[in-house]
Structure 1
Amino acid sequence: MGRTPVRSPTISRPISLFLDVDGTLLDYASHPDAVWVGPTLVELLGDLHRASGGSLALVSGRSIDSLDRLFAPFRGVAVGLHGLEVRRDPQETSGRPLAEPVPEVLREAIGRIATAHSATLLEDKGAAIAVHHHLPAPAMQALRHALREACGRLAPRWVVMRGRRVLEVKPGDATKALGVDTLMAEAPFRGSMPIAFGDDVTDLDMFEAIRRHEGTSIAVGPRIAGSGDLQLDAPEESLALLREVRDALDDGADALRIGAVLRTRTHA
């Protein structure tokens, strides 16, 4: 199996982990609430949190409250709503919002547009709204155009971000990269070599932030193949690799040894 070049760590330093959720740790489901999380994954996240000295963050389009429900009883550092929420301390009940809620006039317009374009689900996240759909490309483009027009006319700070079968309306200055940068400036992440796993175009700015911090990005699945330093095929491969990372950390591995694990278990 082929290998893709990866930036090899040149100094011994601890690692940190930034993990997208849907499509990366979990297979996609027809509805955000329809995914199933087994006890093995919950246990793995707890093990990685412990083995990394707390340098594990979930980075998701879901809200932090949703992540807590999904992975209970595990509760960790988290970036929610594509960077709109950041929880630095696992003991906090929820994340600190970095943006105000979607303006009511825009919220109402999005509802009308979603109905007119046969969206399957309108997911109101407070500071963002996700419009889920199963539309063919031309109909999706029409939906996206209508949402963009509404944002430009009613609330220019808000933008439309495309994901897998979803169009998300959110503040344009909030990104997963912002969450990564915020955490990397603070203990226990500061000074670590970050490793990010992601599967969608919504993870690309996180990958850019990881590179700025001299870390490694791992693309999962076909949607952003070639965009990461390394490649995995599916969430089950993410979990298998993360189990190896956990075991290596338990054996005292630093970034040099973890880098070797990554290069061995990923491909072009």
Structure 2
Amino acid sequence: MSDLAPPPPALLSDASLFLDFDGTLVEIADTPDAVAVGADVAPLLTRLGDALPGGVAIVSGRPVHEVRTLIAPAALAIAGSHGLEIAAVDGTIAAPERPEALDAALATSRAFADEHPGTLIEDKPFGVGLHYRAAPSTGEAVTALAEELAATHDLHLQHGKMVVELRLSGRDKGAAVDWLMAEPARHRTVPVFVGDDVTDEAGFAAAVALGGAGVLVGPARATAATYRVDCVADVLAWLDAACREMT
């Protein structure tokens, strides 16, 4: 496995930019509500949205309403819940109905967490996250439970960093990129997707398939991305340099 070069600032000159959130724009925290968003993030996103020909969209596993709050006052398109919710800049949201199967999976997951201290259950509009960052020894049991619930309730099982998530099938971050790239404002641009987790691989693949690029954040690994940076600070520095070059 060979390493990838860092992305040049000029990569964004004719781009539509798609950014994961946790692990990309902010450091991953012990719990989803404990993330610390730097004071420079929202102003940088606003500047990028104004400078890039195809603008900026956040593509996250978080629900749209959480991302909107975390990036405020920046107003961007947001694909939340791994692409199941897509919100336009004006706030309108395209999303499916929440199935009853998720409520059943949520109840079972919460009962499990009550018996396994340190595990955290995250109730999302279209998913259930089972986090074990604070209790790594439960990882095998959490994964086994999630696999059982996915099979029982016909849900998609998504692995992440110290988390497994049950959610509706039919969408992923790659589908979100395809959806957003179909909008007229992005027709003459190329997508650049930036993310850190295995959940971002579909986004990388979709961007590359459309003639664009993927940027992996974190250690080198097998990936569909075409560039790599080491950490969140590197992402923010690269985005700032690219923005300054375009303005």
Q: Which of 229, 232, 237 lines up with 1:232 in the alignment?
A: 229
1:176 aligns with 2:173: yes
Alpha-carbon distance in 1 for matches of 2:242, 2:43: 14
1:141 aligns with 2:140: yes
Deviation at 1:118, TM superposition (A): 3.8
Normalised to the residue count of structure 1, the TM-score between the two structures is: 0.82
| Other structure's SS at 1:17 match | strand
Figure out how many residues of one structure are paired with residues of the other and give that number: 241
Deviation at 1:37, TM superposition (A): 1.7
Q: Tell me the amino acid that sits aligned with residue 98 of structure 1.
A: P
Pair 224,173 (structure 1): closer, same or farther in 2 beyond 3 Å: farther
Deviation at 1:26, TM superposition (A): 0.7
| Other structure's SS at 1:214 match | coil
Alpha-carbon distance in 1 for matches of 2:112, 2:119: 12
Task: Tell me what 2:31 maps to.
Answer: 31
Pair 113,190 (structure 1): closer, same or farther in 2 beyond 3 Å: farther
Task: Tell me what 1:130 maps to.
Answer: 129
Q: Tell me the amino acid that sits aligned with residue 139 of structure 2.
A: M
RMSD: 2.5
Deviation at 1:113, TM superposition (A): 2.9
Pair 223,4 (structure 1): closer, same or farther in 2 beyond 3 Å: closer
Q: Tell me the amino acid that sits aligned with residue 100 of structure 1.
A: R
Alpha-carbon distance in 2 for matches of 1:206, 1:99: 24
Deviation at 1:99, TM superposition (A): 4.8
Q: Which moved more, 1:168-177 or 1:98-107?
A: 98-107
Check the 8 A contact 2:24/2:196 in 1, yes or no. Answer: yes
Check the 8 A contact 2:14/2:54 in 1, yes or no. Answer: no
Alpha-carbon distance in 1 for matches of 2:212, 2:162: 29
Alpha-carbon distance in 2 for matches of 1:184, 1:29: 30
| Other structure's SS at 1:196 match | strand
| Other structure's SS at 2:86 match | strand
Pair 7,219 (structure 1): closer, same or farther in 2 beyond 3 Å: closer
Matched ranges for 1:1-268 at <5 A: 4=4, 14-53=14-53, 55-87=55-87, 89-92=88-91, 95-101=93-99, 103=101, 104-134=103-133, 135-136=135-136, 139-153=138-152, 155-156=153-154, 158-222=155-219, 224=221, 226-250=223-247
Alpha-carbon distance in 2 for matches of 1:209, 1:102: 31
Q: Which moved more, 1:110-119 or 1:124-133?
A: 110-119
- Long gaps (5+) in structure 1: 251-268
Pair 119,167 (structure 1): closer, same or farther in 2 beyond 3 Å: farther
Q: Tell me the amino acid that sits aligned with residue 97 of structure 1.
A: A
Alpha-carbon distance in 2 for matches of 1:4, 1:105: 43
- Long gaps (5+) in structure 2: none
Pair 202,226 (structure 1): closer, same or farther in 2 beyond 3 Å: closer
Pair 114,174 (structure 1): closer, same or farther in 2 beyond 3 Å: farther
Pair 54,214 (structure 1): closer, same or farther in 2 beyond 3 Å: closer
Check the 8 A contact 1:42/1:71 in 2, yes or no. Answer: yes
Kindly provide the CA deviation profile for residues 123-142 of structure 1, in whole angstroms up to 9, marking residues without a partner as x.
101211111113436x3122
| Other structure's SS at 1:188 match | helix
Pair 199,119 (structure 1): closer, same or farther in 2 beyond 3 Å: same
Identity, in percent, stands at 31
Check the 8 A contact 1:201/1:223 in 2, yes or no. Answer: no
Deviation at 1:169, TM superposition (A): 0.8
